[in-house]
Each structure stands twice: as structure tokens, then as C-alpha cells.
Amino acid sequence: MSAGHTHALPRSQNEKYIWIALGLTTLFLIVEVIGGLITGSLALISDAAHMLTDTMALAIALAAIRIARKAPDAKRTFGYHRFEILAAAFNAVLLFMVAMYILYEAYQRFRNPAEVQSTGMLVIAVFGLVVNLISMRLLSGGKAASLNVKGAYLEVWSDMMGSVGVIIGALVIRYTGWAWVDSVIAVLIGFWVLPRTWILLKESVNILLEGVPEGMDIEMVQAALRTVPGVLGVHDFHLWALTSGKASLTAHVVYDPAYSTEQLLPALKEILASQFAVYHTTLQFEVNPCAHTEDGCNYSAAKEPHMHA
């Protein structure tokens, strides 16, 4: 029997603030790219690449809100929640390519330093810092209840640090004339982006491969289920996620026939929901464990008929 469930998706009231943050971020992304080309600042272009991650993160959050509203249909019985993960994986691959380009361009700049207009670089970076602070303020109210909004908030927070780095670099160049500092800042921003990109890609691939959700331990979940009186064992256990914060579980539960499945099912569902935030569950009850094969359970080999709930 499938348990009722709720999911950690952005609340509709957050959508307006995400749209505003997306508009501000996209506007500044364009300004920063143009400014980087005009001033010759690789650090600005590198920070613009980082700003691109913010834009995509906000767009993904909005897409998740809209697409999650679509009801499951005959072809997609789980709905459309995987769109978020596909977009996140694409985002990660794109970021790797951009970061590699920035590092390569920084290497070329070290060999042949270019003139950098520090004043324009400073003005644009300060403008970017203001945009980031406004966006953080808009997103702060929804980050506690939504993984999507929290991810977008962290993207903006990280880019704020990039803007601070560009400001420092512009000030150093302005008062010392050390143009090579621009390339150093660009490299630092690139290395700041890469680890976060790797984590994003790793988590996305894990979900696409239907791996165990990050931070969850199968043995702990199974042990918690076995604490319910009447439960003798758990097998054919599968735990995965449709998208971030939306875990699903299927399992076969071997139980003492002195207990009824009507007693056991609510208790098991309560543990999964309260202790592990797993709401979408399918539990099959068996008096004796079914025999396992490569294709799953072989019911004809079981000693007694199984019961399903």
C-alpha cells in the first residue's frame, strides 16, 4: 500500500521573489559580460560565469515549481519531478566547461598580461555585490522550507563572495598597477566554482542512477523498521529519490502472523515519515521471505503464500 506523502517543493508565494531575483541576476550577468569585455578584466568574465550558475539555479527552481504542478499521467506515473535533476546535471557539465576555459584564459594572461581598466571593473563589481545582496534577501524567507530555494540562495551567496573578490582585485590593481592580480582573482573564482560543480554533478548522477539519497543510511532505516513489534525482517529493500528531497522506498516486510498488517502498516509508515522524511512508500507483507533470484522474488519457491498490503 502506498503511503500518503508531501514534498519539499518551493511554496507558490516564493515564486514572485524568485522571478525578481532571476530578473536582477540576468540583468547583471549581461552587464558583467559586457563590462568584462570593455575593461579587459578576466576576473569580471570569470565572475559572470559564476553568475550564470545563479541564473540557471533560479531558473531551475522556477521550472521545478511549474512542472511539479503537472499531475502524473499514463506515461509518467511519477510525474515530472526528474526535470530538476536533468537540468542540474546539464548545469554542472556546462559549468565544468566554463571553468576550464577561465583557467586556460588565465594561464594565457599570465604569459601575456593584458591592460585592465580597474575603475570600470570596480564599479561593475560593486553593482554586482548590491544585486547579490538583494537577491539573498528575497530568497532568505523560503530557503528553510525548500531545497530548491535553498540551493538558489547558496548559489547567490557564493557569487556574492566572487563579487567581493573582484572588488578586492580592482582596488589592488588601481593602487599598485599589478594587472596580474586580475588573473589570480579569476583563477580563484574558477577553483571556487569547480568543487561545487563536482558536488552538483555527483548528486545529480546519483539520483539519475536511482542511488540512495545523500545523507541516508539503508542499515539505519532497516533497523528502525525492525523495531516495530511483529516485524521479523526486511528484504528486497530499495531506497531512491525522484528528485532532491523526494525519497521513495519499496520493501518486503516479514511479519509475525500474530499481528495484523492493519496494525503494522501505520507504525512503519510513521517511522519512515517522522525519522527519515520518506513519504512515498510501498510495503509488501510476507509471513515467510520470498526466494530471491536475479529478477527479483520467486514466489513459487516460498514455503507459504505471501500477503500484500
pLDDT class of 147 with cuts at 50, 70, 90: low
For residue 193, being part of any structural domain is answered with: yes
Residues 204, 227 within the same domain? no
Same domain, 202 and 237: no
Q: Which residue has the higher pLDDT, 229 or 8?
A: 229
Q: For the domain that residue 285 is a member of, what is the CATH number?
A: 3.30.70.1350
Instruction: Copy the grid coordinates of residue 150.
Output: 535553498
Looking at the fold, whether 37 and 100 belong to one and the same domain comes out as yes
**Model confidence at 119, in pLDDT bands (50, 70, 90)?**
confident
- 3 state SS of 174: helix
Does 145 lie in the same domain as 234? Answer: no
- The predicted model scores a pTM of 0.69
- How distant, in Å, are the alpha carbons of 107, 209, 239, 277 from that of 218? 46, 16, 8, 13
What pLDDT sits at residue 173?
83
Confirm if 16 and 66 have CB atoms less than 8 A apart.
no
Say whether both 81 and 229 belong to one domain. no
7 lies in some domain: no
Whether residue 1 lies inside any domain: the answer is no
Which letter does DSSP use for residue 302 in this model? S
User: Do 223 and 99 belong to one domain?
Assistant: no
Q: Over the stretch 57-116, which tens digit does the pLDDT of each residue have?
A: 788 778 777 777 777 788 887 888 787 777 778 777 877 877 787 777 777 777 776 677
Among 208, 228, 249, residue at a domain's last position = 208
| Residue 3 within any structural domain of the chain | no
Q: Which residues, at least 6 apart from 300, have a Cβ–Cβ distance to it below 8 Å? A: none
Our count of domains for the chain comes to 2
Which of 160, 188, 208 is the last residue in one of the domains? 208
Domain check: are 19 and 126 in the same one? yes
Residue 171 lies in a domain: yes
Position 298 pLDDT exceeds 70: no
The one-letter amino acid at 183: S
pLDDT tens column, 181-192: 877 877 887 787
83-87, 215-219, 257-261: range with lowest mean pLDDT: 83-87
Q: Is the pLDDT of residue 285 over 80?
A: yes
pLDDT digits (tens, 9 = 90+) for 24-65: 888 888 888 888 888 887 767 777 776 787 787 788 778 777
Pair (144, 126) in one structural domain = yes
Beta strands in 103-224 (DSSP E): none
Q: If pLDDT is split at 50, 70 and 90, which confidence band does 266 have?
A: very high
- Rg of the Cα atoms in the chain: 25
Query: Which amino acid, 18?
Result: I
Regarding whether 224 and 187 lie in a shared domain, the answer is no
Count of CB atoms situated within 10 Å of the CB of 65: 20
Is residue 2 situated within a structural domain? no
Evaluate whether residue 68 is within a structural domain: yes
The domain boundary, picked from 141, 173, 208, lies at: 208
Range of the domain at 282: 218-301
Residue 191 contacts by C-beta under 8 Å, 6 or more apart in sequence? Answer: none
Residue 97: give its domain's CATH number: 1.20.1510.10
Clarify whether residues 130 and 33 are in a common domain: yes
In this structure, are 128 and 222 located in the same domain?
A: no
| Residue 209 confidence (pLDDT) above 50 | yes
The per-residue pLDDT for 156 is 76
For residues 192 and 277, membership in a common domain is answered with no
Contact present, 288 and 233 (Cβ < 8 Å):
no
Residue 41, domain member (yes or no): yes
